[in-house]
Amino acid sequence: MQPWKTIARRTILPHSKFLAIEDHTIQLPDGRIIDHWPWVVTPDFINVVAITRTGEFICFRQTKYAVDGTSLAVVGGYIERGENPLAAAQRELLEETGYRAAQWQSLGSYAVDGNRGVGVAHFFLAQDAEKFAEIDADDLEEQELLLLSRAEVETALAAGEFKLLPWAGIIALALLRQKRGG
């Protein structure tokens, strides 16, 4: 299989550092050309499942503009220009929770939308987390820090309480990794 090729691109909406819309011209492997392929540019981001030394999962209950009601959430944030994903994950964990973790493991990097862009999600598992500082987050959402047991996280995941796909995905990956012991 051959990948699609970008022949041309132009920005049609330079909204902000968090969003731009591009118009691409694409060449398919069979040679066909597709004009006006929409592409969404957003910053790559990280999500972290952090587990304390005592085995508690650090989560939030919070609101999001696109979600009805509240959702359980994990640590997350955009990667700053020039920052590597692990450094962003470590920064966000400290800012949002006041915790630092001794062990870090990548759970992979994933395209958000395979045909339209929308950034890349970089997932991490942080273990042996300990409280280090006070929370210093600049998040817009109101949120409540929670320490949940593995059983509570499994029940919440099965009940659909992690209402954003990246959050449900990373929780599932972290639980699977924990089950396998590594």
pLDDT tens per residue across span 28-58: 999 999 999 999 999 999 999 999 999 999 9
For 112-145, what is each residue's pLDDT tens digit?
Answer: 999 999 999 999 999 999 999 888 777 666 789 9
Read off the pLDDT of each residue in 145-172 and give the average, rounded to a whole number. 97
Contact 62, 144 (CB under 8 A): yes
Q: Please tell me the total count of domains within the chain.
A: 2
At 168 the pLDDT is 97
For residues 22 and 78, state if they share a domain.
no
What is the DSSP track for 93-125?
A: HHHHHSEEEEEEEEEEEEEEETTTEEEEEEEEE
The structure tokens listed for 66 are 């696109």
Contact 126, 49 (CB under 8 A): yes
For residues 51 and 122, state if they share a domain.
yes
For 73-108, what is each residue's pLDDT tens digit?
Answer: 999 999 999 999 999 999 999 999 999 999 999 999
For residues 61 and 149, state if they share a domain.
yes
Query: What residue numbers bound the domain in which 74 lies?
Result: 45-179
